[in-house]
């Protein structure tokens, strides 16, 4: 079972958040029995074209207007053209909310009952609540790949994602290096119950522990730019010595940047996570300093390729397949 290891925040008289002493990735017991380090490079290098127009349903976590999922959609559509398969992109018109979990459950049920499909790839909005619907699909003979967010099931074909813990750790270490080993940090967290957010936060704190860093706040902005702007405004009013704001996605970093810009606060290093178009443009414009390249288009392409290889040849895969690179992107990257 996926164990969500929530950081316990301890805001005492020194206003310093407690850093978890056990920042390990969280996956199901079966997934943990197949170490990520054993995944062969061949997994990423092998690509085949389909010999028949397999019908694959690609369920997005939220609307394709959200930058990350816009890139996923574009990557999936390009892969479908390259590999000669029939891809149906399915999404809700709602933003990513708790209610969308119910929408995804209904979407999966409708696919089982009314559609003739050969496989499902899903960016799950809840790692636990979707499991009964997903396992019902598997019972009906439809293989399932989870992408972006793990599912708490040992029966899916595999989980394709980005190593959020490693990416967060890389960013934490980058911050330590750029502050000369010492400074004060505020973290803008993602949704509290999302495994991706948990892994990034644990990675951030693990990386920050390589230096003498004081975490003065860890607050959830639920991935939202406007909420991140509001939280940052409050932090700037409360603390007069913030050196860095680490955001768990680029949208929240942009919200933090706007709040700082609207204030009379001294310059602050602001980092994001995703490496999407809005984040890259913000780096070019000097609004944020760094982000992590999460490569959503590559994730989508890999998930579709693995589904094709399973449908064509019955190929099976390790329980976890994570993209190996955790690149920190700065203005120097464009140079």
pLDDT tens sequence across 7-58 = 333 333 333 443 333 333 344 433 433 334 446 677 777 899 999 999 999 9
On whether both 270 and 252 belong to a single domain, the answer is: yes
Are the CB atoms for 110 and 92 separated by under 8 Å? Answer: no
On whether both 45 and 157 belong to a single domain, the answer is: yes
Three-state secondary structure call for residue 24: coil
Look over the chain and give the mean of its residue pLDDT values, rounded to a whole number: 85
On whether both 87 and 135 belong to a single domain, the answer is: yes
pLDDT tens sequence across 271-284 = 999 888 889 999 99
pLDDT of the residue at 72: 93
Q: Is residue 159 part of a domain?
A: yes
On whether both 58 and 152 belong to a single domain, the answer is: yes
Q: Is residue 230 part of a domain?
A: yes
Mean pLDDT over 299-328 rounds to 93
Q: Is residue 278 part of a domain?
A: yes
- φ/ψ of 242, rounded to 5, equals -85, 120
CATH code assigned at 308: 3.40.50.2300
On whether both 86 and 152 belong to a single domain, the answer is: yes
- φ/ψ of 216, rounded to 5, equals -90, -15
Q: Is residue 252 part of a domain?
A: yes
On whether both 169 and 271 belong to a single domain, the answer is: yes
pLDDT of the residue at 276: 83
Q: Is residue 5 part of a domain?
A: no
CA distances from 3 to 6, 25, 28, 46 (A): 9, 9, 7, 32
Q: What percent of the chain has pLDDT over 70?
A: 85
pLDDT of the residue at 99: 60
Q: Domain count of the chain?
A: 2
On whether both 114 and 54 belong to a single domain, the answer is: yes
Tell whether pTM > 0.85: no
Tokens standing for 81? Answer: 């053209």
- Domain range for 306: 33-163+296-327
Which class for 223: exposed (0-12), middle (13-18), buried (19 or more C-beta within 10 A)?
buried
On whether both 174 and 229 belong to a single domain, the answer is: yes
On whether both 174 and 270 belong to a single domain, the answer is: yes
Compute how many other C-beta atoms are within 10 angstroms of the C-beta atom of residue 291. Answer: 29
| 133 pLDDT more than 80 | yes
Mean pLDDT over 110-131 rounds to 90
Q: Is residue 24 part of a domain?
A: no
Contacts of 270 (CB under 8 A, 6+ apart): 244, 245, 247, 253, 256, 257, 260, 287, 288, 289
- Which of residues 294 and 36 earns the better pLDDT score? 294
Mean pLDDT over 97-122 rounds to 85
Q: Is residue 77 part of a domain?
A: yes
- Which of residues 11 and 167 earns the better pLDDT score? 167
On whether both 209 and 310 belong to a single domain, the answer is: no
H helices of the chain, where?
29-32, 42-45, 67-83, 99-114, 131-139, 164-178, 195-208, 225-238, 250-262, 277-284, 296-313, 331-334
Mean pLDDT over 66-94 rounds to 90
Spatial distance between the Cα atoms of 71 and 243, rounded to a whole number of angstroms:
31
On whether both 155 and 300 belong to a single domain, the answer is: yes
């Amino acid at each position: 079972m996926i164990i969500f290891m929530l950081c316990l925040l301890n805001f005492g008289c020194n206003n310093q958040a407690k850093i978890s002493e056990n920042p390990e990735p969280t996956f199901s017991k079966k997934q943990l029995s197949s170490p990520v380090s054993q995944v062969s490079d061949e997994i990423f290098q092998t690509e085949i074209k389909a010999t028949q127009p397999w019908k694959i349903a690609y369920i997005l976590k939220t609307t394709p207007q959200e930058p990350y999922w816009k890139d996923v959609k574009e990557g999936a559509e390009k892969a479908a053209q390259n590999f000669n398969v029939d891809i149906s992109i399915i999404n809700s018109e709602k933003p990513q909310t708790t209610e969308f979990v119910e929408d995804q459950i209904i979407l999966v049920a409708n696919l089982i009952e009314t559609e003739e499909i050969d496989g499902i790839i899903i960016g799950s909005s809840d790692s636990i609540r979707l499991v009964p619907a997903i396992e019902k699909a598997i019972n009906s003979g439809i293989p399932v790949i989870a992408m972006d967010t793990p599912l708490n099931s040992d029966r899916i074909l595999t989980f394709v994602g980005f190593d959020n813990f490693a990416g967060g750790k890389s960013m934490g270490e980058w911050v330590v290096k750029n502050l000369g080993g010492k400074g004060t940090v505020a973290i803008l967290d993602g949704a509290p119950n999302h495994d991706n957010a948990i892994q990034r936060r644990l990675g951030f704190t693990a990386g920050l522990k390589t230096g003498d860093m004081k975490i003065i706040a860890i607050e959830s902005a639920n991935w939202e730019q406007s909420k991140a702007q509001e939280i940052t405004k409050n932090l700037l009013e409360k603390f007069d010595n913030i050196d860095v704001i680490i955001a768990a996605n680029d949208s929240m970093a942009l919200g933090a940047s706007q709040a700082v810009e609207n204030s009379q606060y001294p310059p602050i290093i602001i980092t994001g996570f995703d490496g999407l178009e809005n984040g890259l443009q913000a780096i070019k414009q000097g609004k944020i300093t760094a982000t992590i390249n999460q490569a959503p288009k590559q994730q989508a392409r890999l998930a579709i390729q693995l589904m094709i290889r399973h449908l064509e040849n019955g190929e099976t895969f390790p329980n976890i397949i994570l993209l190996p690179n955790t690149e920190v992107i700065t203005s120097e990257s464009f140079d």
